[in-house]
Amino acid sequence: MTIELRPDRKGPPPAPVRSGPRRAWRARLARLDLRGAPYAFISPFYLVFLVFGAFPLGYTLWVSLHDWELASGTRKFVGLDNYDYLLTDADFWHATVNTLGIFVVATVPQLLLALLAANALNRRMRMPTLFRIGMVAPLVTSTAAVAIVFTQMFDRDWGMVNWALGLAGIDPIAWTTSRGWSWVAIATMVDWRWTGYNALIYLAAMQAIPKDLYEAAAIDGASRIRQFWQITVPMLRPTILFTVIISTIGGLQLFTEPVLFSVGTPNKMDGGPMHQFQTITMYMYDNAFGHDRYGYGATVAWALFLMIIVFSLLNFLAVRRAGGTR
């Protein structure tokens, strides 16, 4: 990239001698430009954020204190009643267990596989770009498209997954009706999409580890596996933390995959006839947009938001501790 050191001047050539007041006007304009331009440049972001980001978040809290329906026009202040109800709402806690279950089933293997893949990519090899591009190919598909394709592949009678399992002598699995297996199926969609992304992030961090460390370890007789666990993984701790938090934020808001997995039930927000894979976000969406209970939907939204913060912190502490002495 070359940088033009002298920007081309498209404006008029320097004006001849100017009269006094005109020059003063220009000077004032220039000062205004210098003072005001920075604020003018950053204001679009704040405008958009205040109206469509900060205000909605705060307003969610306000709505959550109401019995609020859009269709009927009901709008009654009920204080903390919605939160009271939430604490004993079996459906909410059922959805919470589902969300956390899918999150764990998805994230643990995902990050482990990503570490292994990154370790494999971090070699001198032929066609490194091909393998890297292949790793993130899933990322450029759309979530909804992937969910549709995987839902077909996980079909109990006609799906390719059960066919392949059948070759290995395993009986067909009812992926959509069993609670645990539905979590596995949804987690597979998530992992298929995001493992390569995390692998590239790990790879970037691995490339920053000084090679001398490995050389010293090799001289001391440490095997490659030992080097991986004792040098690579500890050095990656900040990066692992980053991916864990990103996965937490994304995982707790899981929505598209389970919605499209709900083939065959009249209400796609149910997450199956027994709500076996209904996530918190689906429950929130269903309350607000499905049943016109915007107040309670907002309560669920806030509960989810708090949960994201708490789990991010917990993961932060857990990963830090797991790192050992440092």
Partner 1 sequence: MTTLLAGRTARHPARHPGRFRGLWNASPLTYLTLVAALALSVFPIYWMIIVATRTNSVVADVPPPLLPGGQGADNVGRLFDNPEAYFAKGLLNSAIASAAVTVSTVFFASLAGFAFAKLRFRGRNALLLTIVATMMIPVQMGIIPLYMIMVKLGWQNHLQAVIVPFLVTGFGVFMMRQYADQAIPDELIEAARVDGCSTFGVYWRVVLPALRPAAGVLGLFTFMQTWNEFMWPLAVLSPDNPTVQLSINNLANAYFKDYTLMFAGTSVAILPLLVVFIVFGRQIIGGIMEGAVKA
- The nearest distance, CB 275 to partner 1, in angstroms, is 18
Those residues whose C-beta lies under 8 Å from the C-beta of residue 293, and which sit 6 or more positions away, are 68, 69, 287
**Which member of 177, 178, 230, 256 binds partner 1 (CB under 8 A)?**
256
Element (H, E) at 68: strand 66-68
Instruction: State how far the Cα of 199 lies from the Cα of 172, in Å rounded to an integer.
Output: 32
Q: How many CB atoms lie within 10 A of CB 311?
A: 19
132 versus 179: smaller Cβ distance to partner 1: 132
Q: Does 170 bind partner 1 (CB under 8 A)?
A: no
Question: Is residue 112 within 8 Å of 233, Cβ to Cβ?
Answer: no
Considering the complex, what minimum distance in angstroms separates the CB of residue 265 from partner 1?
11
Choices 77-85, 104-112, 247-255, 314-322; region in contact with partner 1 by CB under 8 A: 247-255
Considering only the stretches 76-84, 89-97, 116-124, 174-182, report the one whose residues sit in contact with partner 1 under the rule CB under 8 A.
116-124
Binding mask 293-322 for partner 1 (x = CB under 8 A): -x--xx--x--xx--x--------------
Note whether 122 binds partner 1 by CB under 8 A.
yes
Q: How far is the CB of 218 from partner 1 (least distance, A)?
A: 10
What DSSP assignment string belongs to 177-199? Answer: TSHHHHHHHHHHHHHHHHHHHHH
Instruction: Tell which residue, 239, 224, 246, 252, has the closest CA to residue 115.
Output: 239
Footprint on residues 28-87 left by partner 1 (CB under 8 A): 30, 33-35, 37-39, 41-42, 44-45, 48-49, 51-57, 59-60, 63, 70
Size of the site for partner 1 (CB under 8 A): 111
Q: How many other β-carbons are positioned within 10 Å of the β-carbon of residue 128?
A: 13
Choose among 212, 217, 238: nearest CA to 229. Answer: 217
- 23 vs 224, beta carbon nearer partner 1: 224
175-214: contacts with partner 1 (CB under 8 A): 192, 196-197, 200-205, 207-208, 211-212, 214
Q: CB atoms < 10 A from the CB of 226, how many?
A: 12
When the beta carbons of 133 and 318 are compared against partner 1, the nearer one is: 133
Contact 121, 199 (CB under 8 A): yes
User: Residue 183 or 261: which CB sits closer to partner 1?
Assistant: 261
Least distance to partner 1 from the beta carbon of 270, Å?
A: 14
Q: Which is nearer to partner 1, 129 or 325 (CB)?
A: 129
Burial tier of 193 (Cβ tally within 10 Å: 0-12, 13-18, 19+): buried
